[in-house]
A and B are shown apart, each in its own frame.
Chain A
Amino acid sequence: MRNDVSIKTPRMLLIPAASVVFLSLLPIAYLVIRGISSFSDLIPLLLRIQVLFIMLKTAALVIAVCFSCIVIALISCWIITRTDLKLKSLWSALMPLPLVIPSYVGAFIVIIILGPKGVLQKALEPLGVSRLPDIHGFEGAWLTLTFLCYPYIFLTLKSAMEKIDPALQEIAQSNGYSYWKYFYKIELPLLRPSIISGSMLVILYTLSDFGAVSILRYQTFTWSIYLQYEAAFDRTLAAGLSLILAFIVISILYLESKTRKNIYYYRTNAKASVSKPFFRLNKLQIPVAILLGAILLIGLIIPLVFLLYLAFQGFMSNQIPTNLFALALNSLMVSSLAAMATLGAGGSIALLTAKFKTRIAVFLENTVYIGFGLPGIVVALSLVFFGANYLTILYQTIPLLIFGYSIMFMPALIGAFKSSLESINPRIEESAKILGESNLGTFRRIVLPLTSPGIVYGMSLVFLLTIKELPLTLILGPLDFGTLATALWNASEEAFFLEAAISGVFIILISIIPMFGLRKLTNESSLWTHYK
């Protein structure tokens, strides 16, 4: 799309964007260095470990998780934005919250509850159920990842649905379209970019997740890579496998960029969306609320209540992690710093790709996404390699750790920032410039305020992802440095589950802070658009 109004010097953006992309290629560079020596060993290995089989298993999980996330997100967003459901703002605040549950915690709780001799079986014992079917494997991993990941799509989809011009529906209906035909033919295509951008995060998260698939024993590509590191101590073969994974990620990104169409995603009129036609639920109020409640029950309430119960027991038996306060402070610090650094690093890329959809911009954006699709251990070891050998001053310091988080989580920020940039009507910028505002002034006074919800949303995602992150924090963190996540790992490694639960509860409590800030901001911004 050639933009009629553009920020004058793309070079101003291109240079920082390109240097960020260059840095985010470090893991790939490392993998090539590590993997190239084993190139001849790679082929027999690939045959031996049945790579094709693992690829199919991985693909099955990714597709299933992504599909079910889309279904849950679509249904819940539609209910929240298109019906007269009561307590709507409460629902829309609660629905994204499962995002705060770390995948290893979610999987752990799935096993405790749905395991062959789990809580559910105990409850069903009087009915003669002596053993539940094994939850390990595909079903467990699918269930866990679906309920942890649907918020990624929910959040992008909801804001997109709120921005759709209600006039479209009026026009469609005056042309004889039924509502569902309108929804399918007109609204859904308009929602596609937000579904896809959310889905990309779900896909990459599922591809790189280790916590859930290892606890639930479903062998994905990432699981196999960890197996090479942890059981075989074989870095070169692990690097070879990681290169294949990187190739898969690149292919997915390439396919995704092919599906993008040059549509205008901004509204062209300034009419407020007050007259939005609502579906009256009437008698369906309660069943619909139960439906949303059930999603929250599985994704948030059961895990949280269970964790609180364990943590309470831990407090009662005084199994409190030492330095809990310092650990929480460390978690808060690295997560906030990561959110800010990622904005600094990813902001230019988002601006570039939203405003100038040139080939080079798409290429730069795609490259950055690779980091999110690679297992944490790979990114961590690549920075160990470069840090210890070429950047000794920064090695094992907080800045390098933050840099690692940025490499991994930048896509979450870019996606959020970019979609809010794309929803701005360029005429507004144009008008500002005609009225004598400079480029920078337009950016500060028009673009920034309008995109702030997107920025804050992106930063919140980075914050959440960082606070849960484990392998990078363990490997790349300074000596004697601990966070809540490392404390949780440390305690659960030696089966001190009550103590681990306390760290888990604190991770979730701290994560909830930005989620509520985020909600307030998005509410304000929808008011803001009314003033336009």
Chain B
Amino acid sequence: MKNLMRISIYMMIFIGLMVVGPSCSESETEESTSTTSSTTSETTQATAAPTPEPESNKLVIYSGRSEKLVGPIIEQFALTSGIDVDVKYGKTAEIAATIMEEGSNSPADLFFAQDPGGLGVIEANDMFISLPDTITGLVPDNRKSEMNKWVGITGRARTLVHNTGIDKGDLPNDLWELVNDSRWKGKIGYAPTNGSFQAMVSGMRAEWGEEKTEEWLNALLAQDPQIYPKNTPQVAAAAAGEIDIGLVNHYYLHRFLADQGDAFEARNHHLPAGGPGSIVLVAGAGVLKTADNEDNALLFLNYLLSTVGQQYFAAQTYEYPLIEGVKTQRILTPLEEINSPQISYTKMNDLQGTIDLLTKVGALQ
């Protein structure tokens, strides 16, 4: 009898679910009819409301940088400006694809991207407005799009991270010494699927040409390098002695140092002879042509490039500030002392070519 009671209780739950179930399916079919009807009524809707009333108190940010990195500064902006900010977080590439799919109906006002690649794609699709000089003038010419379609917000340098057990004098002078010296065989780490590594390879192709880049990649592979999914595990691996040297961005090390103190057994080594191994990449942002809140988006860009905004990044994310008058974190090598090549980001836009080359040499497979 007890079982029968329990069974009947469960039955009631099911019937309850079935009541909800069909009502859901009704709404599904409603959706289906509205899908078809909306395609026909879309044109009428469009003429009825040609331009949506600009709501000056809003801002929609699509961020390819994670909430961990930029959430606090966005919140601070919302508080000081009184603007109601909505954010969509995701990976830079997926956000870029989303913006392109949304096309002229994109709710986004501003795209804040992790790397020039994502911005370059939106620029190439002609979806960014031209930014005013008052904003683009704040950063050096080589830290923004050539056409002023987007502007760099912070810089990060490609560098080598190494175990502290290695004598400073033994560290390579340039990328070629790294791949030609047999003492590093099996002891180099790299992340072939990582966007920053690929940007470095794009930089090599722009600076060295296709053939020489291929030669370098082949030499790197002959060193039997350890493969990592991204930068951070390489920094940890260098400290653990799993690798001697890793090809990374500069700032991951400083997060570990902040967390674990000076006892952490890895340091950065900026190549003295420079070249693409010391290229400086930027995270940047642009304002979309379809923005309903263009003024607020420009206000936000101004805020990111203000002393307050730049100090936030310098202190919290260990990136390089790009405007005059804001100091780099004391523990970082100043940007002026890094021997980085002057490659235009526009020249680095052929990402498919980079993927092809990495596939050809067998780094991606």
User: Does any Cβ of B come within 8 Å of A189's Cβ?
Assistant: no
Q: How far is the CA of A50 from the CA of B69 in the complex (A)?
A: 37
Most buried by A among B6, B7, B29, B101: B101
> A117 with B242: in contact, given A231-B198, A340-B17, A479-B107 (CB under 8 Å)?
yes
Q: Please state if B35 and A231 are interface contacts (CB–CB under 8 Å).
A: no
Digitize A480-492: 1 where CB-to-B-CB distance is under 8 Å, 0 elsewhere: 1000001000110
Digitize B13-50: 1 where CB-to-A-CB distance is under 8 Å, 0 elsewhere: 01101101111111111011011001100100000000
Q: Which of A385-416 contact B (CB under 8 A)?
A: 385-386, 388-396, 399, 403, 406
Q: Which of B192-224 contact A (CB under 8 A)?
A: 193, 195, 198
List residues of chain B with CB within 8 A of the CB of A22: 32
User: Does any Cβ of B come within 8 Å of A16's Cβ?
Assistant: yes
Q: How far is the CA of A347 from the CA of B14 in the complex (A)?
A: 13
- Which residue in A389, A403, A480, A491 is a CB contact (below 8 Å) of B102? A389
Q: Please state if B89 and A117 are interface contacts (CB–CB under 8 Å).
A: no
Q: How far is the CA of A188 from the CA of B220 in the complex (A)?
A: 53
- Main secondary structure on A side of the interface with B: helix
Q: Please state if A116 and B242 are interface contacts (CB–CB under 8 Å).
A: yes
Q: Please state if B88 and A494 are interface contacts (CB–CB under 8 Å).
A: no
User: Does any Cβ of A come within 8 Å of B246's Cβ?
Assistant: no
List residues of chain B with CB within 8 A of the CB of A496: 68
User: Does any Cβ of A come within 8 Å of B364's Cβ?
Assistant: yes
Q: Please state if A215 and B89 are interface contacts (CB–CB under 8 Å).
A: no
List residues of chain A with CB within 8 A of the CB of B359: 48-50
Q: How far in angstroms is the closest Cβ of chain A from B232? A: 4
List residues of chain A with CB within 8 A of the CB of B198: 231
List residues of chain A with CB within 8 A of the CB of B364: 219, 227
Q: How large is the interface on B (under 10, 10 to 19, 20 to 34, 35 or more residues)?
A: 35 or more
Q: Which of B71-109 contact A (CB under 8 A)?
A: 86-91, 93-94, 96-98, 100-103, 105-107
List residues of chain A with CB within 8 A of the CB of B276: none
List residues of chain B with CB within 8 A of the CB of A256: none
Q: Which of A424-459 contact B (CB under 8 A)?
A: 444, 448-449, 452, 455-456, 459
Q: Please state if A117 and B237 are interface contacts (CB–CB under 8 Å).
A: yes
Q: Please state if B193 and A475 are interface contacts (CB–CB under 8 Å).
A: no
- Main secondary structure on B side of the interface with A: helix
Q: Which of B327-361 contact A (CB under 8 A)?
A: 351-352, 354-356, 359
User: Does any Cβ of A come within 8 Å of B301's Cβ?
Assistant: no
User: Does any Cβ of A come within 8 Å of B240's Cβ?
Assistant: yes
Q: How far is the CA of A221 from the CA of B87 in the complex (A)?
A: 31
- Which residue in B226, B240, B255 is a CB contact (below 8 Å) of A495? B255
User: Does any Cβ of B come within 8 Å of A384's Cβ?
Assistant: yes
- Which residue in B26, B34, B365 is a CB contact (below 8 Å) of A219? B365
Q: Please state if A455 and B14 are interface contacts (CB–CB under 8 Å).
A: yes
User: Does any Cβ of A come within 8 Å of B126's Cβ?
Assistant: no
Q: Please state if A455 and B17 are interface contacts (CB–CB under 8 Å).
A: yes
List residues of chain A with CB within 8 A of the CB of B252: 495
Q: How far is the CA of A19 from the CA of B27 in the complex (A)?
A: 12
Q: Which of A16-57 contact B (CB under 8 A)?
A: 16, 19-20, 22-23, 48-50
> A16 with B7: in contact, given A233-B118, A381-B97 (CB under 8 Å)?
no
Q: Give A382's nearest chain B residue, CB to CB.
A: B101
- Which residue in B25, B39, B66 is a CB contact (below 8 Å) of A493? B66
Q: Which of A348-407 contact B (CB under 8 A)?
A: 348, 377, 381, 384-386, 388-396, 399, 403, 406
Q: Please state if A231 and B193 are interface contacts (CB–CB under 8 Å).
A: yes
Q: Please state if B14 and A456 are interface contacts (CB–CB under 8 Å).
A: yes
Q: Please state if A524 and B240 are interface contacts (CB–CB under 8 Å).
A: no
List residues of chain B with CB within 8 A of the CB of A117: 237, 240, 242
- Which residue in A50, A381, A394, A474 is a CB contact (below 8 Å) of B101? A381
- Which residue in B17, B29, B226, B232 is a CB contact (below 8 Å) of A19? B29
Q: Please state if B68 and A23 are interface contacts (CB–CB under 8 Å).
A: no
Q: Which 6 residue pairs spanning A and B have beta carbons closest together?
A: A344-B24, A344-B25, A479-B86, A388-B102, A495-B232, A230-B93
A interface with B by C-beta (< 8 Å): 16, 19-20, 22-23, 48-50, 116-117, 136, 214-215, 217, 219, 227-235, 237, 340-341, 343-345, 347-348, 377, 381, 384-386, 388-396, 399, 403, 406, 444, 448-449, 452, 455-456, 459, 471, 474-475, 477, 479-480, 486, 490-491, 493-496, 521, 524, 527-528
Query: Can you report 10 A-B residue pairs in the complex whose CB atoms are below 8 A from each other?
Result: A227-B364, A233-B117, A237-B352, A341-B27, A390-B38, A391-B35, A396-B88, A399-B31, A456-B14, A479-B107
